[in-house]
Amino acid sequence: MAGVRVEMAVECDPHAVATYRRNHTDTEVVAKDIAQVKSVSAGSVRDTRILFGGPPCQGFSCSNRRTRNSENEKNWLFREFARLASSWKPDWILLENVKGLVETEGGIFLEAVLLKLEELGYTTSWWVLDASEFGVPQRRNRLFIIGSKDGVVIPKPQGTHHAVITVNQAITDLPSLDNGSEYDFLPYRAVRPSAYANSMRGDLKGCGNHYVTRNAPQVLRRYQHVPQGGNWEDIPAKLMRNYKDRERCHTGIYHRLYPHDCSVVIGNYRKNMLIHPVQDRGLSVREAARLQSFPDDYVFQGSIGFQQQQVGNAVPPLLAKAVFAAILDAAGQ
């Protein structure tokens, strides 16, 4: 989207590998743990070379108290990233993570990343950006750390959208579905699509990945009690008896999307029981992908659970586009 040619991608999850290969046929995909990768493609010396990625973020998530600390080995995987940067010496380095990395253990991880990049000779910039300010129909804060080999400090990108894209604008043209739907392809609904929906559709007449988790009857009964914008607190206590301590549920559990605002974070939306704004069911993979700003021709691979995980883990493409545009602008591209 931003004009960057991705020559090589490293991914250890086989389902994400299948999805990436399906959608990025010109990219070499290395299906390995990054610790097993000894070198990366060099590219032309005339190219502006960017090393980018997102080390595991679960250890920094605000909803993860158990491993949100310095003892979690996966929280230090950015060192493998730094190792590749040291050998390849790209012009730019881009690291993405959740906002929680700034806050975890008093900011030691952020400080460690910045110090390591500076030791490698990179001038650093970092910002937390809200995806909803860049045309994504979702409030999603993400941290971006930039390293410049040429000493460039990049100012924080300014939002491109003053008015949010709403849930209605994002998904109303997608087909109505039932609990447990499994459709590889369906035509769009016969409604006038929003400008945002049109941008996701392109020239397509329909799209795929219309997979919805099949929830149990008692879960569907809970959905019926939740109004738009509501959550688990609207569900009668007698329907929540299987929860050991119902009061410990966070506000994102059993949240029904409000159609006239942008979405809450699309994380593990199956586990959180995120509810469609007007239908008593969970979100489909395609609806969640729309709320992440994935174009409809982007096809997800694997079983429904793995597809949901890929969508929830992703950086919204329109947000990524804005970040890369800032880098290319600073590079004079």
Return the CATH number at 254: 3.90.120.10
310 is a domain residue: no
Write down the pLDDT at residue 69.
Answer: 44
3 is a domain residue: no
Options 12, 57, 249, 262, the catalytic residue: 57
Write down the pLDDT at residue 78.
Answer: 81
Contacts of 309 (CB under 8 A, 6+ apart): 15, 268
* 41 and 152 share one domain: yes
For the chain (333 residues), the mean pLDDT of every run of 10, in chain order, is 93 96 96 87 75 70 47 66 90 91 76 92 96 97 96 93 94 98 97 98 98 96 97 93 74 93 94 95 98 98 96 96 96 82
Which CATH number goes with the domain that contains 112?
3.40.50.150
* 297 and 254 share one domain: yes
2 is a domain residue: no
Cβ atoms 180, 282 nearer than 8 A: no
* 173 and 286 share one domain: yes
Beta bridge partners of 145: 95, 126
Write down the pLDDT at residue 290.
Answer: 98
How much is the pTM?
0.92
Write down the pLDDT at residue 110.
Answer: 87
* 146 and 188 share one domain: no
* 23 and 58 share one domain: yes
Measured in degrees and rounded to the nearest 5, phi and psi for residue 329 equal -65, -45
Write down the pLDDT at residue 74.
Answer: 57
* 124 and 198 share one domain: no
Q: Which domain holds residue 107?
A: 8-158+315-330
67 is a domain residue: yes
Active site residue 262: no
Round to whole Å and give the CA distance between 252 and 264: 8
* 235 and 322 share one domain: no
* 217 and 80 share one domain: no
309 is a domain residue: no
* 152 and 171 share one domain: no
197 is a domain residue: yes
How many structural domains are present in the chain?
A: 2
49 is a domain residue: yes
74 is a domain residue: yes
* 105 and 189 share one domain: no
* 205 and 222 share one domain: yes
* 75 and 186 share one domain: no
